[in-house]
Amino acid sequence: MPYEAPDFYGIDELLTEDERMIRDAVRGWVEDRVLPVISEHYLNGTFPTDLIPEMAELGLLGAGIDGYGCPGLGAVAYGLILQELERGDSGIRSFASVQGSLVMWPIRHYGSEEQRKRWLPALHKGEAIGCFGLTEPDHGSDPGGMETRAVKQGDRYVLNGAKMWITNGSMADVAVVWAKLDGVVRGFLVEKGTPGFLQRSMGKKFSLRASDTSELVLQDVAVPLGNLMPGVEGLRGPLNCLTQARAGIAWGVCGAAMACYDEARRYALQRTQFGKPIGQFQIIQGKLVEALAEITKMQLLNLRMGRIKEGGKVTPQQVSLAKRNGCHFALEIARTCRQILGANGITAEYQVMRHMCNLESVITYEGTHDIHTLILGHAITGLDAFR
């Protein structure tokens, strides 16, 4: 039985024809190319690199970037792409989010003209892969405490430090590395193969297994002065990138929740116990109703967030709320749906458990649930509870 994407409030009608066509193209591609292979990659802990050229061919990488050969899609169209990718797997969506929001976006907005020309077309075409190095072993929620340092020595910047949990880290051709230069956070472009730059896969994960999570070690890594991104200083550099990516995550997790809901609903109709389909029991119905209600709210929230983002007026706090809410309920839905599938729900024959495990990463990265609570608490009360 084919996938029936829940759209209880006719949100389709609020989309433009372009947006629907783009969404449907990605949905079809995920159905044909991602779903048949993703379980195997998940079990093996590998990223399906052969899908990168296909994503590029469709034009998905950095699709929200304007100029330099990129399509410059609006926030809703871009969000719908991520929703469909994460309906496949959070790892695929993470790849696209990092490439588009955390690598291409800062290069577009903070990079020099030379950096943009060099990297943006290549990243869009999938000829180069990027990663974003902010988190360190000892500094996650509090990136301002980072220890990675850059020092100017003649015509070079010399970087020392370590980054951890870096998506696309081991395969990246270019890393956006955040480091302190004279005590101020700055962004540097560090290329694969630069002496002293080590990119090492971290392995051994129970979550986001079809994704490259790596550490970056920088030991006296010397880069030309031209590799510093001139357009931003301070923590707002990486934080603005995160706002872009978090908006995409809010859309993405909705896709994962839609996949789980659709699978559980179908299963509930076809699985019989006590002489009737389990979907006829009130408890199962209640679970499906909760899931549908939360998905519908997420869809409306995302659409509104996208539209105000397109109008240039979205605040980081509005994005925090959508990221926080989306991850929380997507994870709840995945857990509930997994239970609806009983024992089958733990197998690789079905998607629910893979989504459920993935979402534990998604609720953690780009600001944990609690960190977003503090961001919103700060916005509401004016009182900073971080420290």
Residue 285 Cα to chain centre, angstroms: 31
Among 45, 59, 143, 231, binds another protein (CB under 8 A): 59
Contacts of ligand FAD in 62-121 (CB under 6 A): 98
Region near another protein per CB under 8 A, out of 21-29, 224-232, 244-252, 259-267 = 21-29
> For 322, phi and psi rounded to 5 degrees?
-70, -40
- Is residue 4 within 8 A of residue 262, CB to CB? The reply is yes
Size of the site for another protein (CB under 8 A): 16
Residue 365's binding partner, choosing from ligand FAD, another protein, none, with beta-carbon cut-off 5 to 8 A by kind? ligand FAD
Q: Which residue has the tokens 């709210």?
A: 297
Q: Is 190 exposed, middle or buried (0-12, 13-18, 19+ CB in 10 A)?
A: buried
Cα separation of the two ends of the chain = 52
Residue 22's binding partner, choosing from another protein, ligand FAD, none, with beta-carbon cut-off 5 to 8 A by kind? another protein
If one asks whether residue 25 binds another protein (CB under 8 A), the answer comes out as yes
If one asks whether residue 2 binds another protein (CB under 8 A), the answer comes out as yes
* Cα–Cα distance measured from residue 42 to residue 62, given in angstroms and rounded to the nearest whole number: 24
Among 63, 104, 216, 330, binds another protein (CB under 8 A): 63
Residue 121's binding partner, choosing from ligand FAD, another protein, none, with beta-carbon cut-off 5 to 8 A by kind? none
Residue 115's binding partner, choosing from another protein, ligand FAD, none, with beta-carbon cut-off 5 to 8 A by kind? none
> Based on C-alpha coordinates, what's the Rg of the chain?
21
- Is residue 79 within 8 A of residue 306, CB to CB? The reply is yes
Among residues 86, 136, 215, 366, the one annotated as catalytic is 366
Q: Which residue sits closest to ligand FAD, CB atoms considered?
A: 140
If one asks whether residue 201 binds ligand FAD (CB under 6 A), the answer comes out as no
If one asks whether residue 165 binds ligand FAD (CB under 6 A), the answer comes out as yes
Is 366 catalytic? The answer is yes
Residue 330, number of CB atoms within 10 A of its CB: 34
Region near ligand FAD per CB under 6 A, out of 40-48, 279-287, 349-357, 366-374 = 366-374
Beta bridge partners of 213: 167
* Cα–Cα distance measured from residue 123 to residue 316, given in angstroms and rounded to the nearest whole number: 26
User: Any idea how long the chain is?
Assistant: 387
- CA 164, 167, 172, 176 dihedral sign is negative
Residues that bind another protein (CB under 8 A): 2, 17-18, 21-22, 25-26, 28-29, 57-60, 63, 71, 73
Residues that bind ligand FAD (CB under 6 A): 98, 132-135, 140-141, 165-167, 208, 213, 361, 364-366, 368, 370-371, 374, 386
Catalytically active residues are 366
